[in-house]
Amino acid sequence: MNINYNELMEEAKSASKNSYSPFSRFAVGAAVLTSDGRIFQGCNVENSSFGMTICAERCAIFKAVSEGYREIRAVAIYSPNSDSCYPCGACRQVMYEFQGDNEEIEVITENMGQLEINKLSYFLPCGFKI
């Protein structure tokens, strides 16, 4: 499957507009591409009880999973508040959980206006599944 990285990043940018981030003021949007070509958006949602906060990447992945999609091909991440926005450790492990057996997830970020495409193993070299 060919991945349209620009389209996926545009979906992440659109999702960032829905961010609820009154505490950090760090809006993030994500878009996940499933193995069959569906795209799901997510944004970060903060809470007064900080532990209840969810990152954009997990929001998008959980939306896909809740609709029956278990195999993620790519994740685009964007923040209008930063020149680059990378996934946190928890999101990296969640991505690994829903990575297909034959293809590694591609993580798309934007750095100073240029797309960066890396394999998930770049961010999480020793992920695990049970």
pLDDT value of residue 29: 98
Whichever domain contains 77, its CATH number is: 3.40.140.10
Residue 75 burial (CB count, 10 A): 29
36 in a structural domain: yes
Residue 129 burial (CB count, 10 A): 9
Instruction: Quick: pLDDT tens for 83-121.
Output: 989 999 999 999 999 998 888 999 999 998 899 999 999
pLDDT value of residue 103: 87
- Structural domains counted in the chain: 1
Whether 71 and 61 have beta carbons less than 8 Å apart is answered as: no
pLDDT value of residue 129: 86
3-state secondary structure of 60: helix
User: In terms of residue numbers, what domain contains 117?
Assistant: 5-123
129 in a structural domain: no
This prediction's pTM = 0.95
Ranges of the chain with pLDDT below 70 = none
83 in a structural domain: yes
22 in a structural domain: yes
- Enzyme catalytic residues: 57
61 in a structural domain: yes
